Amino acid sequence: MTERMVKTGYLLGVSLLVSAIIYFFAANWQGFDRWTKVALSVGLMGMFYGGSAIVAYTVRHHRFLSNWLFVCGAIAFGISVALVGQIYNSHADSFWLFLVWLIPSSFFALLTRYDPLRFLSIVLLQLTFWFYYFPSSYQVERSEWESFATLLVFSVSNAVIWVSSRSKLAYAAYVAMHGWLFLLFVIGITEEKFRFWPYAYALLFIVLFYFLKRRSYVLLTGIFAGAFFIAQYFRIVEQYFQEWVFFAGLLLAAAIIYMGVFLVQRTMKRSRSASDVPSTSDEKGKVFVLLFQALVTAVASALAVSSVMGLIALWTNDFSPYALFWLSIGGFVVPALVWRKGNKVVRYTLLAVGYMLGALSASGVSVWLLASYSVVLAGVFFRSTSIGVRIMTTIAVSVYGAIVVSHWTDDFRFTMLFVLIFNGALYTHSKNRYERIAFLLLGFGALLLTTVDIGGIDRWYVLFHVLFVAAVLGFLFLQKAADERAVAWGYWWLFFVWKYYEYAWDLLHKSLSLLLAGVLLLAATAIVEKRKQLVFMGQVNIFAKKWLPLAVIVVMQLSFIGYTAFSKEQHMQHGQLVKLELVPVDPRSLLQGDYVRLGYEISTVKNVNERGTIQVILRKDETGVHRFVDIYSLNGKPYHPDAYQTGDVLMNGKMNGDTVIYGIESYFVPEKTGGDVQRRARFAYVRVSRTGDAILEKVSDQ
């Protein structure tokens, strides 16, 4: 146990340091000049990579730490690329950023076969695809078939990784494949495109369910299939708000239950025949059955509740919430609880429908009635022996109880505190691993919500943050069950993402706090390890026989950062200064901090609808502002070169319809100053090189 605690301490300390670095650079602190920031980022890369190599070859019983430091070096390279973009105002969250980051990370993953590097690569691939299709600094107009082909290529790329991979990466690639296919479906619905795709997508689900043998893939496919059915149903409801649609929804819910039971039996049978082991008795088989039952219940109950509420809306204009409340109990909850020998999926669906209808009517019934019902359901929990009934009843009591507490207090944190205490009590009472995981998910979720910014930083804000961190660390250090520690790890990383986008506390102050906490935790862990005299055995050295190609890639990374910064600095020093009129907007980048989106007066070219590279002619007017004159060249071919005059400026861009993207649409600002910049900015000062490339230098009100 001590060995696990020490490893956990090191991993926590390293995660705090990496988070501190990301937060610090995203804060865009103005205390350093450009070259100092670049040197600092390169130094951090060298520190992680160098520390990894030193630990690997001098402290061999710490190879796990060496591997983690190497992953941190790969992450630090991405941070450095983002920092260079921030310094020189490159596109916010540009797909080029993630593509440049992806290339060396992929080579690292191929050379080392280390799962964290593989996972980093698959995440970077998805981010590259995402920001290519959804750029954050500008809008791209695509034709219907171009959109379809692009998203399909993204999906097929992940499918290739899934088929060719022999590691856990295959699951991530499979999920990503379905994610892009589902996004294709959603875009088709919202933008009324790809009208044939829902039929093809449904056929694909049928084929996959027929041929897939591995239970985990059947479960993952079921998640996306369930989302597909629900989205399709609501799409039809929106088009035809009629009785037959809602009756069809009820029939569809019943069909999904039947199909779910059939798929469970078929998958378990195929797994048993493939392994010659009775799958229904092994632990993985039980987990699969439980999760698939939960999936089918969720999809079927969502369809059933929507259908019931739709029929009520059609049949009556003034349906009493009390009538709905008693209907939920008498028509669904009681039959599900009494029918103990019935099919589990059917019982769970009835119970879920009853609890959901009860939640929909809860705001309109007496608080005391709802509180009494919650107490009765708590009794049902303790009397029931069914895991599914107990878990769903816990969720229901958590929701109903939160509604009751919210009537007695306006403080959202104390409402979540009730959910935390209730699920915490059930967690300590229960001995079943599945119930404990469910209670843990609910409890940690409620505790995380207590850290939300409500009116700025006060003593409660600080107290709940301390409570959350203490609870997570307690589980990570003291809990023996791996699945429960996995829940805590999930909330640990979610907490960092949550706090990055929260504005109550400055990123710079967060960064310093995380840095201090990381250093102290690493030091404390090292002291504990030394006192216990631990020796870690059976570790993998990712440098084994591969140190030379890894070192070459690292040198190339460092050289890329140095060359990119140098070339942009030369551009800033020697480029021609151009003043442009603009219109700004204000968001936060994924890695680079706050920025202002800029729309330029020269970005729209009237009476032109083209795609490709473009070079425009800019000419200074009597006020000193450069205005668009004409197109000099398009896709490398002369367009109107005769319009160019002495003193004009040629600037490169990319044509998208009638809009030109110059690569200067993002202006990064120190944290919380974007609003001021947005209010006063009227002009942008841009440095244009002899070759026509532009770098944004500053924005101003004059």
Sheet holding 637-638, edge to edge: 637-638, 626-634, 610-620, 649-657, 659-661
* pLDDT tens figures, 532-572: 666 665 556 777 777 889 889 999 999 999 888 888 888 88
Q: Is the pTM higher than 0.85?
A: yes
Bridge partners of residue 577, in order along the sequence: 687
Bridge partners of residue 685, in order along the sequence: 579, 698
Q: How many CA atoms lie within 13 A of 416 on its CB side?
A: 17
Q: How far apart are CA 59 and CA 62, in angstroms?
A: 6
Q: How far apart are CA 584 and CA 665, in angstroms?
A: 9
Report the DSSP pairing between strands 588-589 and 649-657.
unpaired
Please say whether the beta carbons of 176 and 157 come within 8 A.
Answer: no
Please say whether the beta carbons of 632 and 65 come within 8 A.
Answer: no
Please say whether the beta carbons of 161 and 129 come within 8 A.
Answer: no
* pLDDT tens figures, 596-629: 888 888 888 888 888 889 999 999 988 889 999 9
Q: How far apart are CA 30 and CA 147, in angstroms?
A: 41
DSSP assigned state of 622: T
SS3 state at 604: strand
Per this entry, what is the length of the chain? 702
* DSSP collapsed to 3 states, 190-231: HCCCCCCHHHHHHHHHHHHHHHCCCHHHHHHHHHHHHHHHHH
Bridge partners of residue 700, in order along the sequence: 683
Q: How far apart are CA 250 and CA 253, in angstroms?
A: 5
Q: CA torsion 605→609→610→614, rounded to 10°?
A: -10
Helix (H) or strand (E) holding 113: none
Helix (H) or strand (E) holding 17: helix 2-27
Of the ranges 103-117, 307-321, 587-601, which one carries the lowest mean pLDDT score? 587-601
Report the DSSP pairing between strands 610-620 and 694-700.
unpaired
Please say whether the beta carbons of 251 and 320 come within 8 A.
Answer: no
Q: How far apart are CA 237 and CA 245, in angstroms?
A: 7
Q: What is the DSSP track for 525-561?
A: HHHHHHHHT----S---TTTTTHHHHHHHHHHHHHHH
Closest listed residue to residue 654, CA positions, set 639, 629, 626, 635: 635
Question: Around Cβ 162, how many Cβ atoms within 10 Å?
Answer: 19
Q: Is the pLDDT of residue 530 over 80?
A: no
Q: How far apart are CA 22 and CA 212, in angstroms?
A: 41
Residue whose entry in the numeric block shows the structure tokens 């409890």: 443
CA distances from 386 to 287, 362, 382, 437, 569 (A): 15, 25, 10, 15, 67
pLDDT at 368: 92
Please say whether the beta carbons of 176 and 122 come within 8 A.
Answer: yes
pLDDT band, very low/low/confident/very high, at 281 (cuts 50, 70, 90):
very low
Mean pLDDT of the region 436-445? 94
CA distances from 500 to 52, 73, 126, 307, 395 (A): 27, 21, 21, 40, 29
Q: How far apart are CA 98 and CA 130, in angstroms?
A: 10
Comparison of pLDDT for 494 and 88, the residue scoring more: 494
Mean pLDDT of the region 147-151? 93
pLDDT at 591: 67
* DSSP collapsed to 3 states, 416-474: HHHHHHHHHHHHHHCCCHHHHHHHHHHHHHHHHHCCCCCCCCCHHHHHHHHHHHHHHHH
Instruction: Write the burial class of residue 439 (CB in 10 Å: 0-12 exposed, 13-18 middle, 19+ buried).
Output: buried
Q: Is the pLDDT of residue 494 over 90?
A: yes
Please say whether the beta carbons of 654 and 661 come within 8 A.
Answer: yes
pLDDT at 29: 78
* DSSP collapsed to 3 states, 58-102: HCHHHHHHHHHHHHHHHHHHHHHHHHHHHHCCCCCCCHHHHHHHH
pLDDT at 277: 45
* pLDDT tens figures, 654-700: 988 888 888 888 888 887 776 677 777 788 899 998 888 899 888 88
Of the ranges 108-122, 231-245, 323-337, 368-382, which one carries the lowest mean pLDDT score? 231-245
* Tokens read off for 210: 């027929």
Please say whether the beta carbons of 345 and 296 come within 8 A.
Answer: yes
Q: Is the pLDDT of residue 376 over 80?
A: yes
Q: Is the pLDDT of residue 238 over 50?
A: yes
| Max Cα distance, the chain (Å) | 90
* Tokens read off for 131: 């920001």
Q: Is the pLDDT of residue 501 over 80?
A: yes
Rg (CA), the chain: 29
Q: How many CA atoms lie within 13 A of 138 on its CB side?
A: 26
Please say whether the beta carbons of 387 and 432 come within 8 A.
Answer: yes
Q: What is the DSSP track for 305-373?
A: HHHHHHHHHHH-SS--HHHHHHHHIIIIIHHHHH-TTS-HHHHHHHHHHHHHHHHHHGGGS-HHHHHHH
pLDDT at 369: 93
